[in-house]
Amino acid sequence: MLAVHALPRRRHDLAELFGGRTGDEVDKFASVAWTPGPGGVPVLTDAAAWFAGRIRDRADWGDHVGFLLDPLTAGAGAGGDPRALSFRDVQDIDAGHPA
């Protein structure tokens, strides 16, 4: 099971944490508010929206792993701001693992 989050535009810091820091060096969930979601997966409290699903397949892309999900459930977070961060908003973030 895996959860995917849409972050509110005001939470660039969460995108920086999860996209710019490596889990090899930091426990990303230790410094953010979250609740257990379906199957116990972490659901970020400040997400604008989220969905969770079963992992159907994985693809190894070198510095990242892609997941194909079978969505099972979704929800709105407590983030308040429905405007989600877009790719344009996070182009300044350097990946946690260099390619």
Report DSSP letters for 11-53, one per residue: -HHHHHHHHHS-TTT--GGGGS-EEE-GGG-EEETT-SEEEEE
pLDDT band at 94 (very low <50, low <70, confident <90, very high): confident
Domain spans, the chain = 2-90
Task: Report the C-alpha gap between 82 and 24 in whole angstroms.
Answer: 31
| pLDDT at residue number 81 | 64
Whether 86 shows a pLDDT value over 90: the answer reads no
Q: What is the mean predicted confidence (pLDDT) over 67-92? A: 83
- Given a contact cutoff of 8 angstroms between Cβ atoms, the answer to whether 34 and 40 are in contact is no
- Given a contact cutoff of 8 angstroms between Cβ atoms, the answer to whether 7 and 48 are in contact is yes
CATH architecture under which domain 2-90 falls:
Roll (2.30)
What is the pTM assigned to this prediction? 0.81
Q: Which residue has the tokens 């892609």?
A: 66
Q: Is the dihedral of CA 79, 87, 43, 33 positive or negative?
A: negative
